[in-house]
A = this chain, B = another copy of it.
Amino acid sequence: MEKPTASPPDEQSLDRHAFVLERLSNDNHRYTTGRHRLVDALAGSSKPLTLPDIVAIAPDLAASSVYRNLEVLEQCGVVKRITSGSGHAHFELAEPLLSHHHHLVCVDCGEIEDVRLDDEVEELLDQHLNMVATDASFKPLRHNLDLQGHCEKCQDLL
């Protein structure tokens, strides 16, 4: 019921690249082919990707450069790093490019899927988090919420 939306330079993709370019420029970085390809790889997936995932999608990118670029893009607020414990870190586009969401993390295979909660729940959550943060003299930046469990695929294997 969904199509991958890969190469055609649709409107969304143009917006995305304009956004990335601006963020990179602001930090005096260049939007090189490699970075372009990296952003496309992340944008082309509905799930957060690991480094092997990314290199599998774009095999001509050197792993070390991908890591370096992920760091640059993370610094610019274009990429978000997810560390769920199982070996490799996962990466996805950051909030302005991907709407706010959370993750279903499979404890068996390590795959991560996106989920969105009702705005109303998010709002309540943020209110309470800000409250407890204030109590602890903690200056909040963002929250992460994930649900661990067994994904559909891994349930079938039992």
Contact = CB atoms under 8 A, between A and B. Distances in A.
A125 B132 contact: no
A139 B143 CA distance: 23
Interface in A102-158: 104, 106-107, 113, 115-118, 121, 124-125, 128-129, 132-133, 136-152, 155
The interface residues of chain A, by DSSP majority, are classed as mixed
| Copies of chain A in the complex | 2
Nearest to A137: B152
Nearest to A141: B149
Interface of A: 81, 83-85, 89, 104, 106-107, 113, 115-118, 121, 124-125, 128-129, 132-133, 136-152, 155
Contacts of A137: 151-152, 155
